[in-house]
Structure 1
Amino acid sequence: MRILLVAKPWKGGLAQYLFDALQDLFPGQAQWMTTYPDSLADYLAYRIDKRKWQRDRVARINASDYDCALFINHIPAFRDLHTDRKHILWLTDAPRLSVGDCTPFKRIYLSDAGYAEDLFKVINPAHYRGELAFACHPKVHRPAPAARNPTGCCFIGNKDNQRDLWLNGLIASGMRPVVYGNYFLRTRLFWQHPQLFRPALANAKMGEVYARHRISLNIHAQVVRHGTNMRSFECAAYGIPQVLDYRDGLAQYFEPDTQMLISHTPGQMADQVKYLLAHPDAAAGIAQRARTRALAEHTYYHRLLSILADWLSPAANTASRQLVTSLIAHQETPA
C-alpha cells in the first residue's frame, strides 16, 4: 500500500516517528512530503514567497499517486487539494480552521477531543472520526542505562502559563524539580530559581535525562483540554514513574494510581512525588505497568493501523498487527 505522509518536520519529533513507523509497517511504500522547508534551497524559496511554495507543494500532492495520504495539521493551501476519500487529516493541539478548510478530507481526527465542538462548526460532523491520541515510538522511547545515583524529579517542557502556576506551587511546597526547556534564561521563574532550570535539549537526549532522575513530572500546557500530551506516552515507554496534573479523558489511556499518579493541585502533586521517592518499589511498579500498557496499546504503529484499517483486508490487518508485536519484541531485545 502506497502511503503519503504530509507533515511539518517538528522539533517534537511527531512526523519523524510516524514516517519511521510507516517505513517499518510498509517497507518501500511510504513517502514523506514536508509542509515546511527541510533544505536550504526550499527554505530560501519559502522565504521569498511562502504562498507559492505551499501551492507548489499542494500541486505535487495532487499529481502524486498513492493509496492513502495522512496529513498532520492544516495549512491554507490545502484548500486547493483534490477532495478524496483517501485523505486523512489529523489535527493536533488547538486547530484554528474556517468553513471550507477541510473540504478535501473525508476522515478527520483530533489529538484532543476537547476541540470537537469547535471543529463541528467548520466541518461536516460526519467526517469526524474521533480522538487519535499521541503515542510512543519504541525505537526511540526506551529506557537508557540508569545513572549510578538518580535523584529527585524532573520536568521536560516549555513555558506556559498553566505550567507556571503548577511549578510555582510545587516550589512553594518544597519541591525542587529540575526543569528542562525554554524556561531557561527567558522567564521570571528562571530568574527567581535559576538553579532549578536547564536549557532545552534534543529529543534524543530525553532518555539520558530521565535516567538521571527518579520521577518525571508531566504538567500539561494550557492548550490541552482532553486526554493527554505526547510526554505521557513517551515517559511511559522510557520507564520512568510519572506524576501528572489531571485532564479529563486521561484515564482512557493509563489507569490512575496503578500506571501513573494524577494530581488535582500542586500540593497534591508534591505529596505524590514525596511518596514515590520514599517508596521506590511502588514507583518501579507504576513505571513498569505504564510501560507495558504503552507498548501494548500506545505506539505509533498502533495509531497508524487504527486509522488505516479501512484500507487493509482482514488478513492484512492481522498480519500487520503480528508484525507490530514482532517489531516491538525485536526493539526490546538488547543489542
Structure 2
Amino acid sequence: MKIVIFGLTISSSWGNGHATLWRGLCKNLIRLGHDVAFFERDVSYYAAARDFHELPGGRLELYSDWETVRPTARRAAGDADAIIVTSYCPDATDATALSLDCARAIHVFYDLDTPITLARLSTGEQVPYIGAEGLGCFDLVLSFTGGDAVFREFRRLAGARRIEALYGHVDPDIHRPAASQPHYRADLSYLGTYSKDRQHTLESLFTSAAAVRLDLRFLIAGAQYPPDFPWSPNIYFVRHLPPSEHAAFFASSRLTLNLTRKPMAEMGWCPSGRLFEAAACGAPLLSDVWEGITEFFEPGTEILLARDRSDVLAALERQDDELRRIAAHARERTLDQHSSARRARELVALLEGIQQHDASQPAFEES
C-alpha cells in the first residue's frame, strides 16, 4: 500500500510523545513493503531540537505552511491507498479536506491524544484538528486509548463509524538493554514531559518518596518543567533526553516510574509508549494504576503498581534479583505483544479489512 500521513511531528521527540511512535511504526510499515510519506509542518520549536532528519526507505516532507505544500500533498495523496490524519496535526482540517477529495483512498483519523479530544468534545469546545463535520467522514478512527467507553464516546460526540484501538508500542532496535551510565544512575527514575494534569501524581508518588528517602538518588528527564517544580537535593534532572539516550537512561535505573495523564487514567486502557520503551530496555516497571493495565502487564510478575507513596517506598525495598525477574518478564511480553512491528501488522490488517468490506459498517456496536 501507499500510505500518506499528516501528523504533528516525526522529526523531533522534544516535548511530545508522537515522534518516537511514528518512527517505529513507519520503519516497520516500510519493512513490510509499504510506501510511506510523512508530512510535517516545520515549526521552530521542533526544528531547534530535531533528532530525526529523514525517513529511511520512505519520505519525510517538512513544509513551512499549508498553501505552499498543498500541490505536493495533493500529488502524494492522489494515488494513496490510505491517508492518515492525526490529532494535533496543525493542518489537520485542510489535510482532511484534501484526503476526502481522493476517492480511492481509505480515510483514517488517528487520535494519539484521545482523552484530551473527548474531554473537549464533551464540553462543546472546538477541537482544532477535527472539522465541523466531525469524524463521520473517516472510514476508520484509530484511538491510542481503548475500551468500550471510549469507542461509545467517539461515536456519540464525533459521529465516528468504525473505531479501533491502536495502542502505543516500542521499537526494540532503539529501545533495548544497554550499559549502565553513571550520569543516569538512579534508584527511581521518571521520563516524561511536564504536564499539569500529571503533576499531582508525580508529587504524590515521586517527589514525596524522594523527600522520605534522602539516601537514594532520584532522576527526572523531560522538557518544559517549570521553575517552581518541588525539587529536593536528591532529585536530579535531564532537560531533554533524545531517543538515542533512552536505553542508557533506563538501563541505569534500578526502578523506573510510569505516570499517566489524568484524563487518560480516568478512561483507562491507556498504556503509554514510555511504558513499553522502559520494558524493552530491561528496566523494572513501577506504574500508577488505571483500568485495563492488567491486560498489558501482570502485576507482581511483570510490573509493580503504586497507588500511593507507601507503595513506592515498598517497591524500592525489593531485592535486586526480584526486580530483575520482573523486568525480564516484562521485556519478554513487550517484545511479543507491544513492538512497533506488531502494531504495523495490526494497522495493515485493519486497512486490508476495510478494503475487503463495506467501509460504512461500524466496528463497534453499542450494547
In structure 2, C-alpha distance between the alignment counterparts of 1:59 and 1:153, rounded to whole Å: 48
The residue matched to 1:66 in structure 2 has which SS? coil
Q: Which residue of 2 aligns with 1:179?
A: 220
Per the alignment, residue 7 of structure 2 pairs with 7
- For residues 55 and 104 of structure 1, do their structure 2 counterparts lie closer, same or farther at Cα, with a shift above 3 Å needed? farther
Distance change >3 Å, CA 158–CA 112, structure 1 → 2: same
Match of 1:21 in 2: 28
Which structure would you say has the larger RCO, counting Cα contacts within 8 Å and 6 or more residues apart? 2
Question: Once superposed, what is the RMSD of the aligned Cα atoms?
Answer: 3.0
Q: Partner of 2:194 in structure 1?
A: 159
Amino acid at match of 2:30: Q
- Residue aligning to 1:264: 307
Shift, 1:261, TM fit: 0.8
Contact 1:67 1:86 (C-alpha < 8 Å) held by counterparts: yes
- For structure 1, the 5+ residue unaligned runs are 314-335
Distance in 1 of aligned mates of 2:71 and 2:189: 44
Aligned pair 1:212/2:252, yes or no? Answer: yes
Moved more, 188-197 or 76-85: 188-197
Structure 1 contact 154–217 (Cα < 8 Å) conserved: yes
Question: Is the alpha carbon distance of 1:51 and 1:24 closer, same or farther for their aligned partners in structure 2, counting shifts above 3 Å?
Answer: closer
Number of aligned residue pairs: 300
Tell me which amino acid in the other structure corresponds to 1:199: R
- Structure having the higher helix fraction is 1
| Structure-1 residue corresponding to 2:362 | none
Structure 2, unmatched stretches of 5+, are: 48-60, 118-126, 354-367
Counterpart pick for 1:120 among 133, 137, 155:
155
C-alpha displacement of 1:108:
1.0
Q: Give 1:165 deviation, angstroms.
A: 2.0
- Contact (CA 8 Å) 1:98, 1:122: kept in 2 or not? no
Query: Matches of 2:284 and 2:96 in 1, distance apart?
Result: 44
SS at match of 1:105: coil
Question: Cα 1:310–1:242, aligned 2, differ >3 Å: closer, same or farther?
Answer: closer
- Looking at structure 2, the residues matched to 178 and 150 of structure 1 have their Cα atoms a distance apart, in angstroms, of 8
Q: Does 1:108 align with 2:141?
A: yes
Question: Are residues 1:52 and 2:67 paired?
Answer: yes
Out of 51, 68, 93, the residue aligned to residue 82 of structure 2 is 68
Q: Look up the SS of the partner of 2:180 in the other structure.
A: coil
The amino acid of 2:25's aligned partner reads L
What is the rounded CA distance, in whole Å, between the counterparts of 1:36 and 1:202 in structure 2?
Answer: 20
Per-residue deviation at 1:54?
6.3
Describe the superposition over 1:171-221 as per-residue Cα deviations: whole angstroms up to 9, x where unpaired.
33424521111255x231255658532212111111111122211111112
1:265 to 1:87, Cα distance in 2 relative to 1, 3 A: same
**What are the superposed Cα offsets for residues 236-266 of structure 1, whole Å, 9 maximum, x if unpaired?**
1111001000111222111122111111223
Counterparts in 2 of 1:268 and 1:305: CA distance versus 1, 3 Å: same
Cα distance in 1 for partners of 2:104, 2:233 equals: 53
Cα distance between partner residues in 1 of 2:340 and 2:109: 16
* AA in 2 matched with 1:261: L
Query: Are 1:259 and 1:289, in contact at CA under 8 Å, matched by a contact in 2?
Result: yes
* Matched residue SS, 1:197: strand
| 2-structure distance, mates of 1:232, 1:18 | 16
Q: 2:239 aligns with which of 186, 196, 199?
A: 199
* Cα separation, 2, equivalents of 1:126 and 1:103: 6
**Are positions 1:144 and 2:178 aligned together?**
yes
Instruction: Provide Cα deviations, 1:113-153, integer angstroms capped at 9, x if missing partner.
Output: 36434422344443212x21100111111111234795411
Report deviation, 1:309: 1.5
Q: Give the secondary-structure state (helix, strand or coil) at the position aligned to 2:161.
A: helix
Query: What CA distance in whole angstroms lies between the structure 1 residues aligned with 2:202 and 2:3?
Result: 42
Contact 1:90-1:109 at 8 Å conserved across structures = yes
TM-score of the pair, normalised by structure 1 = 0.78
State whether structure 2 residue 229 is matched by structure 1 residue 189. Answer: yes
Q: Secondary structure at the match of 1:304?
A: helix
Match of 1:34 in 2: 39
**Aligned residue for 1:92?**
112
User: 2:94 aligned to 65, 77, 100, which one?
Assistant: 77
Change in CA separation of 1:77 and 1:143 when aligned onto 2, cut-off 3 Å = same
